[in-house]
Structure 1
Amino acid sequence: MTLNQLRAFLAAYSCRSFSAAAKDLGISQASTSELISRLEQELGAPLFARTSKGLSPAPAAEELHAHALDCVNSARRGAEAVQALQTLNGGVSTFGVLRYAANYDLADLVVQFHRQHPEVRVRMIGLNSHVVAASVAGGEIECGMVVLPVDSDGLEIRPLARDEVRFISSTRPAGAGPVSIQELAASKLVLYDAHAGWKDPTRRQLRDRADLAGFSIEGEMEVEHAETAYSLVAAGAGDSFMASGILASMRHEDNVRSFPFAEPLYDTIALVQRKHGYISPATHRFSVFAERAIAAQGGLTSLV
């Protein structure tokens, strides 16, 4: 079985005619018929029946079609990927990043990428992870970096690193020790990412823990930005929780202290792409840049 045989089969399946398939392939009708005949011999089953309206796919053709398409597309993408190792002379990279990309020094990715590949256009979209994951699954974004958990239907997920999530407070005593889920539920909480709400991955983890323990978590105040939540904690308006990478990027206030959770909690940073989805050479290269940037973060625990 060869790629040329599969290409001839796909063309005939699509055109329902050997002559039209040959025209699409740029070869003779005899060559097209011969390629398909050899494929039928290889499979031991007929692929088409001739009718007054043209070619009619046999059951074997219906079974083969999806696999042939995957095979031919994979070969094409492999060739593109190898060519991309040499140079990227154009195209568009569409990549989603977690909303707090700047806190993990990811904001400079576009500048670094553009220096090496000035002819490639980049669309780097920063949204809450659950939106990035949904956009990748829906085909709006080719690839993205998210914090887990996200809805994984239709996605391939590759964990890269994890970052400890810590409780922050300006009123809790410095020596109070780790924070239990019961104490968290009883706290006056300032929550950020108000638009994403409880779809936010960090919030989801904590709510799941609280549900298992028989508690509920509610926010006294909800704001959109982590910086605003941190300022409110510093002002004594309430307590919050943040990943260490985000916390480290804040302008430090002496009265704000951070504490681990009694059962350690982590944000897992991962790359996501659609299952069997196409990743352009430009986006593939951009994802390599993003992965390297995460690997260079000193405060994260690598998972690769």
Structure 2
Amino acid sequence: MCARTSLNEKRVLTFSALLASGFAGGGLVLGLLVGSLVIVFDGVYSLVSLLLTLLSLAVSRYIQGPSVSRFPFGKAVLEPLVIAVKGIVILTVVLYSLHSAVLAMFTGGREVNPSIATLFGAINVIGCGYAWWFIAQKSKRFSSGLIGAEVKQWQMDTLLSVAITIGFIAAWIVSKTPYAHYAQFADPAMMILMSFYFIKVPFDMIRNALRELLMMKPNENIYAAVDKEILALEHQVSDSMELELAGVTKIGQELRINIDVYPNQTQVQVADVIKARRILKHKLSSLSLDLQLTMNIAS
């Protein structure tokens, strides 16, 4: 990862941590005061996001340091490991909140002041929406798995805030009708509905991180781009050698590619291999990943 990208990554993670700390404190305090399960969940989620962001920031700084004997192949593997931890923690929070909401539904619901809760939800929608938009814009300018995970965290937080606001507005409307006694079930009902939706995001984070940790084939877009450029390069150097893609995997911000080189003559010139390597690295630079290219002379 280049120095500029590393600096931008640290700035975005720091911004995310500061913002998450404010939402975490506000959500926990107000949620406990008004007795809302959903607002408490929002505060807990923001607190968890803060801790995970601090973890991402620490790992981002550590990855930029020199590799030591414990990491002979670099520290790129730490990035998907952190993302997997994030996904597991978020999934645990969602499942626990779902359990609490189901229990509340069977014990008479929870009575909440909808006006205060609605105001809090509206403020959260604006704040979280801005954080989601700002970090998403930054992620488009430079590629980073840690920043991508932050985008998903703030996306979930924004959608959660929108759901809270809509739910409490609906609860306030119901409280003004002859069915006012059902309004107390709005809080746990919202939590149950949101839990089923939010389970997918951390599940996808865990699945994608495990694919990188297990060094499995990258997504189709990356694989197709690599395969296309190798085929194009083979046509350029077909007089002296044939190229075969032996393996490709993405680990964090590293794209590792192994290519077998089959000489068409008795021996292949080292200069030809160096030239082919330089051309391929240039062609794949558009992927915005740290290319680790290995070309093996096959017999």
Q: Common fold, TM-score beyond 0.5?
A: no
Give the structure with higher Rg (CA): 1
- For the aligned pair, the TM-score class normalised by the smaller chain equals under 0.3
Structure richer in strand, relative to its length: 1
TM-score, structure 2 as length reference:
0.22
The one of the two structures with greater contact order (alpha-carbon pairs below 8 A, sep at least 6) is 1
